[in-house]
Amino acid sequence: MKSPSEEIKVFISNRESTCGECGENLGSKAWVTLAKEKGALCLACADLDHLLFLPSGDAALTRRARKYSILSAVVLKWSHGRKRYERQGLLVEAQGLEKAEEECLADSEIRERRREREAVRREELDRQYVDQFGTRVRNLFPGCPKGREREIAEHACRKYSGRIGRSASARAMDEEAVRLAVSAHVRHGETKYDELLARGYDRWEARIAVDGAVRIVLQRWESPR
Ligand SMILES: [Zn+2]
């Protein structure tokens, strides 16, 4: 496997460029590689023009097409919004792409079933997480209205799902984290916080304004009804 630094990079240029070898004017959206002394090179001069473009999106196909191509290059384009180069896809050899496509077709059913199994497993983990988190909320806030612990837990689960490892999900269950989740819920649901935001308060002003109201609700919820 080639490391990222060894990969050949092809840039979709965003300004007028000229090939440093053949001298051809390449326009403002040319695909070029950068050679140390010569600057930008057109793909013909760089001997990459026989490769086929495979757009990003199909991870298995991409991985295999690269594996079966002796020569491949990553295609990058500058994103003005994100201020960084973003991967658009790969240039690969036709025979490598063909072989990859055949392989993907052959085991597509297996991969589909594996995906389904993983989705079921994730759902199960999420369900456990919501149950546990809800129980934690109910224990810390026994006076919380019926059903709210589930609402809070589902929100917390959406927030953490996929973003953290499952070992870290235990940390997300600690008292401080649960209190933060309940406070946020109270702030949005039991105070004028959202209304203040809509009226143009900045977040910190609005938080300070509703802080007392949040604390009163939390105290009420902390004592068993
Ligand atoms: Zn050239």
Residues with CB under 5 A from ligand 1 (ion): 19, 21-22, 42, 45
Per-residue pLDDT band at 174 (split at 50, 70, 90): confident
Q: What is the mean pLDDT of the chain?
A: 89
pLDDT digits (tens, 9 = 90+) for 9-59: 999 998 899 999 999 999 988 999 998 888 899 999 999 999 999 999 999
Compute, in angstroms, the gap from residue 26 CA to the centroid of ligand 1.
9
β-strands 52-55, 31-35: how paired? unpaired
Compute, in angstroms, the gap from residue 17 CA to the centroid of ligand 1.
11
Compute, in angstroms, the gap from residue 18 CA to the centroid of ligand 1.
8
pLDDT digits (tens, 9 = 90+) for 98-113: 999 999 999 988 989 9
Tell me the whole-structure pTM to 2 decimals.
0.53
Compute, in angstroms, the gap from residue 47 CA to the centroid of ligand 1.
9
By C-alpha distance, which of 150, 145, 122 is closest to 135?
A: 150
Q: How many helices (H) and strands (E) does the chain have?
A: 8, 6
Q: How is 127-169 classified by DSSP, letter by letter?
A: HHHHHHHHHHHHHH-TTSPTTHHHHHHHHHHHHHTTTS-HHHH
Distance CA(9)–CA(2), nearest Å, equals 12
Average pLDDT over residues 62-78: 95
DSSP assigned state of 51: -
Distance CA(217)–CA(150), nearest Å, equals 18
pLDDT above 70 covers what percent of the chain?
A: 92
Distance CA(180)–CA(11), nearest Å, equals 45
Compute, in angstroms, the gap from residue 37 CA to the centroid of ligand 1.
14
Strand partners, 31: 12
